[in-house]
A and B are shown apart, each in its own frame.
Chain A
Amino acid sequence: MRRQPLPAWADVILIPIINIALALLVAGAVIALIGENPFKAFSVMFQGAFGYAEGVGYTLYYATNFIFTGLAVAVAFHAMLFNIGGEGQAYIGGLGVALVLLAFDGMLPFWALLPLAIIAAMLFGAAWAAIPAYLQAYRGSHIVITTIMFNFIASNLMVYLLVNIFIVPGSMSPESRVFDSVAWLPSAHDFLARFGIDVAASPLNLSFIIALIAGVLVWLFIWHTRWGYAIRTVGFSEPAAEYAGINTKKIIMLTMLISGALAGMAGINEIMGVQHKLLLDFVAGYGFTGIAVALMGRNHPLGIVLASILFGALYQGGADLTFEMPNISREMVTAIQGFIILFSGALTYMSRPWLERLFGLFARTEATEEVPHGR
């Protein structure tokens, strides 16, 4: 059968949709395997994510984190670097935010705290990416392994800091004190209430807008600056970068610092926007989800925002799912993420030959230039 090269829209839209569908199909099979009804499960998830205002708020709140971590992974991917350290970078980014807010929440007004906190989130996230980046650039150490190791190290470091330093004296739970409310990011429901719009309370806050702005900035940076040009050149062809006088080592550093800074921004949403204190494990896998988001969004900010909303829905829907169907645990969402990474990252073009045949079939019935054989 004759194959037809795929039109651009099929490549950009149809194939990702097929890959998600495949991932959900497998997830459905798993749900069936543990004796639950997958259709019911998915409908509970969909209801939980989009069915009511609070759910939508939660979906977008989760999406905020994924936009940051997804952009982080995507920026690194453009230089052919696989940053699996978003988890640790976000964690340490949150530490930076907390340090600034704990130090200054009694002194500075909100408009001064916000930029300071953002700078701290980015600096701390970047710093946590800096050592793996340096080792990759100058020592050739496998960045996938080093960034993962840094996730483990970050996790131990944070336990130590919270248990020994940030803990409120006399308290049993390893958490910092709550920031003064001047240091809280305005939440969506409070903000909308000022205009007389009444929505249900949810953790959704100003960070969502900051995340969208970050998406636009990343888009401009990658495709419309000479630095982005250099990053993409390094990613596609190191010999070409060398020829063009682009210093690959410096570009690896630059890319990873930006990547780490973006991951660190997840700390703004979690620490400044929602938790209002430093605590254990607030990153909760968002860094890993960033990998799935970036792969699904084809490393493009627009794709990443859409993929983030989908994953936000999965997280939020997954929470409702566990509530309604206790036999299905929250980790189902982790597994679904894994399936999505598998299908959209490693088996990306599995469906392409089939689609090409399908399109070839249609092309033949429409076009006349083909010599028909058979049928």
Chain B
Amino acid sequence: MDVSMYTEIISALSATMRVSTPLILAAMAGIFSERSGIVDISLEGKLLAGAFISAAVAAVTGSAWLGLGAAIVATMLLSLLHGFASITHNGNQVVSGVAINIIVSGMTVVLGIAWFHQSGQTPSLPNTARFMPLHLPGSETIGNIPILGDIYTKILGGHNLLVYVAFLSVALTWWVLFKTRFGLRLRAVGENPNAVDTAGISVAWLRYRAVLIAGILTGIGGTYISIAQNASFIREMSAGQGYIALAAMIFGKWKPVPAMFASLMFGFLDALSIRLQGVEIAGIGQIPVQAIQALPYILTVAILASFAGRAVAPKADGVPYVKER
């Protein structure tokens, strides 16, 4: 095999893991929220908020962990706000989500400028205040095995902690949803809240817990974007990844493992498209950079439009629970 082709593939797959991480975390967040019956357009805003707060706190304290903690607190607060509107007040969940996205879009810049005076960016972080790539145990020995070694050290290994957290969250989401009492009730409340209510369980408290978990996961996802994948916050840096995660969740039929694969697919196509930048393609010529940048969005639409986009949502998804008379 062509050596450069081989290294290209290895590095594309490695990039796939990195690019997919926030998508996976946000998709799991979406699964928790929507399985409980709360549509969460605000994944986008929560990723952005998490990115900003973690970068800001890490810049001030020099600690990535404090950044992560603060981001989680912030995104949980946003989740509470979304819950307050859509659970407590039976508000329109899509409108509430859009409101949160716009609020975050404005507030991150307002606060960024007020606190750091760098036209909305946060200061560039030293490596000590970031999540840095880890080396898997035994990398030295396994790394020497052809192909397998590269898979172990470059595709599976060599990522920062949060990448592994993302994959762990998939297993955890599956386990919670399908193996625990909480998961049973969560799935029930998204399908038929009346059944849950008449079984003597509080619909609101169940849904609040679900959106709070979504908050935690998006907080981690946002942290990853600004202080693991990058070294500072830049305005609008979530760039629609929350929406793409929603599409991945829909494509994965609201199931953790398929949603993870959908996220990986988006990530892979993204990683691949970046490699197309500036490459001459026979018969077409050079693909404009804007077309490559638009590709994730076009793919999202295409996937929603495909048959899989018509997957059936949890029955009570997006419907406020109002006791009928």
Direct contact of A and B (CB under 8 A): yes
- Give a binary string over B231-246; 1 marks a CB under 8 Å from any A CB, 0 the rest: 0000000011001001
Question: Which of A55-63, A135-143, A185-193, A360-368 has 4 or more CB atoms under 8 Å from chain B?
Answer: A135-143
Residue among B103, B106, B115 having the largest count of chain A Cβ atoms under 10 Å: B106
Task: Report the separation of the CA atoms of residues A163 and B324 in the bound assembly, to the nearest whole angstrom.
Answer: 57
Task: Report the separation of the CA atoms of residues A159 and B91 in the bound assembly, to the nearest whole angstrom.
Answer: 37
Size of interface on B: residues with Cβ below 8 Å to A: 48
Question: Which of B6-14, B182-190, B201-209, B298-306 has 4 or more CB atoms under 8 Å from chain A?
Answer: B298-306
Given A30-B107, A139-B309, A338–B99 Cβ distance below 8 Å? yes
Residues A332 and B110 in contact, CB atoms below 8 Å apart: yes
A211 contacts partner chain B, Cβ-Cβ < 8 Å: no
Residues B89 and A144 in contact, CB atoms below 8 Å apart: no
Given A135-B305, A156-B294, A329–B98 Cβ distance below 8 Å? no
Task: Report the separation of the CA atoms of residues A345 and B109 in the bound assembly, to the nearest whole angstrom.
Answer: 23
- Give a binary string over B78-108; 1 marks a CB under 8 Å from any A CB, 0 the rest: 0001001110010111111011111111110
Residues of chain A within 8 A of B288, CB atoms compared? 160, 164
List residues of A (29-43) whose CB comes within 8 Å of B's CBs.
30, 34-35
List residues of A (345-365) whose CB comes within 8 Å of B's CBs.
345-350
Residues A342 and B103 in contact, CB atoms below 8 Å apart: yes
- The A-B contact count (CB < 8 A) is 156
Residues B92 and A345 in contact, CB atoms below 8 Å apart: yes
A180 contacts partner chain B, Cβ-Cβ < 8 Å: no
Residues of chain B within 8 A of A131, CB atoms compared? 301
Residues A327 and B240 in contact, CB atoms below 8 Å apart: no
Tell me the smallest distance from the CB of B262 to a CB of chain A, in Å: 14
Given A34-B114, A153-B294, A338-B106, A148–B240 Cβ distance below 8 Å? yes
B113 contacts partner chain A, Cβ-Cβ < 8 Å: yes
Tell me the smallest distance from the CB of B86 to a CB of chain A, in Å: 7
A315 contacts partner chain B, Cβ-Cβ < 8 Å: no
A341 contacts partner chain B, Cβ-Cβ < 8 Å: yes
Residues A337 and B290 in contact, CB atoms below 8 Å apart: no
Tell me the smallest distance from the CB of B285 to a CB of chain A, in Å: 13
Residues A156 and B102 in contact, CB atoms below 8 Å apart: no
- Give a binary string over A227-248; 1 marks a CB under 8 Å from any B CB, 0 the rest: 0000000000000000000000
B247 contacts partner chain A, Cβ-Cβ < 8 Å: yes
Given A140-B310, A153-B297, A160–B291 Cβ distance below 8 Å? yes
Q: For B303, give the chain A residue with the smallest CB separation.
A: A141
Tell me the smallest distance from the CB of B312 to a CB of chain A, in Å: 10
Residues A346 and B114 in contact, CB atoms below 8 Å apart: no
Residues A152 and B294 in contact, CB atoms below 8 Å apart: yes
A335 contacts partner chain B, Cβ-Cβ < 8 Å: yes
Residues A157 and B294 in contact, CB atoms below 8 Å apart: yes
Residues A142 and B240 in contact, CB atoms below 8 Å apart: no
Residues B100 and A342 in contact, CB atoms below 8 Å apart: yes
A335 is contacted by which of B96, B103, B297, B298 (Cβ under 8 Å)? B103
Given A139-B305, A149-B243, A288-B102, A82–B94 Cβ distance below 8 Å? yes
Given A156-B290, A331-B110, A145–B102 Cβ distance below 8 Å? no
B120 contacts partner chain A, Cβ-Cβ < 8 Å: yes
Task: Report the separation of the CA atoms of residues A265 and B95 in the bound assembly, to the nearest whole angstrom.
Answer: 24
Tell me the smallest distance from the CB of A27 to a CB of chain B, in Å: 10
- The contact sample of 6 A-B pairs, CB cut-off 8 A, is A135-B305, A139-B309, A328-B114, A332-B106, A334-B102, A337-B102
Minimum-distance CB pairs A-B, first 7: A334-B106, A335-B106, A338-B103, A346-B91, A346-B96, A338-B102, A342-B99
Other contacts beyond A131-B301, A156-B291: 9, CB < 8 A: A142-B304, A146-B304, A153-B297, A153-B301, A156-B297, A157-B294, A164-B288, A334-B102, A341-B95
